[in-house]
Amino acid sequence: MDYVSRFTMLLVLLAPLSSFCASNKISSSLFHCLTTYSTTQLPNIFYTPNNPSFTPLLNSTAINRRRFLPDAAKPKAIFTPLNEIHVQNVVICAKKIGIHLRFRSGGHDYEGVSYTSAMDLPFVVIDLSKLSGISVDIADGSAWVEAGATIGELYYRIAEKSKTHGVSAGICTSLGVGGHITGGAYGSMMRKYGIGVDNALDAKIVDANGRILDRKAMGEDAFWAIRGGGGGSFGVIVSWKLKLVAVPETVTVFTVGRTLEQGANKILYKWQQIGDKLDEDLFLRVLIQPTNVSNTTQRTITTSYNALFLGKANKLQDIMKQSFPELGLEKKDCIEMSWLESVLYMDFYPRTVPTAILLAGKATFVTYFKAKSDFVKHPIPETGLEGIWQHLLKEEGPFMVFTPYGGIMNRIPESSTPFPHRNGTLFMIQYLTVWPNPLKKDLMEKHIDWIRKLYSYMAQYVSMNPRQAYLNYRDLDLGMNDKNGDDHTSFVKASTWGTKYFKENFNRLVKIKSEFDPDNFFKHEQSIPVSM
């Protein structure tokens, strides 16, 4: 097809855009560049605010609606590529005409930096949700998965091929693989096999020059950086090659709740001492939230012990009786099932839901929230736990999760990937506060103020110098790059958040960023800066 006829076809396919292009220089410039660089016909994959599909698409995978308040910055256009060539073209065009890019895979971005912006930069979103192919090779022990596929889809496709294989990655099944792996990707098999970045074998990335690079082409430094160094700093991840791990045909799960009236304080204090030392086949986390005392309006705290054991119930009971008898696990608490069924269980799906629901790729919740994280090196004393309960009982919708470390995580060096939270970590804490009405700004500020006060209280009990944080629970309270998008954000300024996420690995990330993307084309509020 010659250039004139191809351009005419593109105008027909993207007709809803044409009237808006005249009044929007950014989207118009990008549109015309894409039509020039494309060697094939483009389907309807370019959306601007005048398109009725624009807002539903923008909202489609964003789980934190707090980032969609009326005064939040919106993209000038959304591009939904169908293949890596489309991604390559939009990167080339964006750099050529000076348009800032944000890109998202699953939308589990706690601060929304993949689809909105606190920087004074007009931007375009590359939404990778249609880039969702999965290829499982049992003989090779690996799977190639495109960035827009969800973790749940990946788990399902692996189980189609084998009942005894899985991937060590996230618990929340609607996580987009692309961004999830770049931040670390912990899950219920981390104590046995490590986290997602520990099992990444290869990747394809589009760099700032529009080149599509695999591990060999990008080099070992860049491959090291993208495995835990965060999305949006080095390029657009279009696919990952992940190692498959062995799972038994039968696994066991349980959830056992204990309230303050049932001795929750002492039980949790004991869990802190043994949670990281349990059998590596056992992942036993604690979910904590206020609940009502039965048949009263009085509130209490419920600690729910939620577990996956890579084995059968009888062996699990023996382990628990020996290591954690204080919980009082009974045979009736244990449920045997397939590993794929356990994926749904750990993500709080009802037992009646078929595993095929994983192919829907939809989040189980969409709400308004603020989150923070911590890493704990020493058990929090019982008096410290009592202080936590006092804070939780003052809040309407708080939630905490204690995630155990130990196992293989103690044996992987901190410098093996940018994700540094390894040996010496007993458990990670996630703090959440959730509220229903986004239009009441004073209500939002009330909840955010509450979580900041709890975070301040916890400083005495968690890691120090630096106080560590988990990148995939991104928190802009920790610090930001220059708001106006200045390419000269100082290393010292960025270190305020960089060392919390990466510890000493931050220095190496800055060095690699400066070599791989020296013009700092890929940037956002907490992207890795270039050295000056």
Q: Which residue has the tokens 């704990």?
A: 376
| Active site (annotated) includes residue 473 | yes
φ, ψ of residue 327 in degrees (nearest 5):
-70, -30
For the CA atoms of 475, 479, 482, 483, the dihedral, rounded to the nearest 10 degrees, stands at: 50
Q: What value, to the nearest 5°, has the Cα angle with vertex 475 and ends 453 and 255?
A: 75
Q: Helices 84-97 and 25-37 sit at what angle, rounded to 10 degrees?
A: 130
Distance between CA atoms of residues 159 and 106, nearest Å = 21
Residues 146 and 106: beta-carbon distance below 8 Å: no
Distance between CA atoms of residues 505 and 525, nearest Å = 19
Report cis status (omega within 30 of 0) of the bond before 413. Answer: no
Distance between CA atoms of residues 103 and 148, nearest Å = 10
Residue at 312: amino acid letter? K
Distance between CA atoms of residues 153 and 146, nearest Å = 11
Residue 254 falls in which region: left (phi positive, over 0), alpha (psi -120 to 50) or beta: beta
Report cis status (omega within 30 of 0) of the bond before 518. Answer: no
Residue at 521: amino acid letter? F
Q: Find the helix or strand (DSSP H, E) in which 78 lies.
A: strand 77-79
Active-site residue (options: 110, 345, 473, 501)? 473
- Helix and strand numbers, DSSP H then E, in the chain: 17, 18
Q: What value, to the nearest 5°, has the Cα angle with vertex 518 and ends 512 and 524?
A: 85
CA nearest to 474, candidates 167, 95, 183, 87:
183
Distance between CA atoms of residues 326 and 66, nearest Å = 40
CA nearest to 239, candidates 45, 105, 46:
105
Residues serving a catalytic function are 473
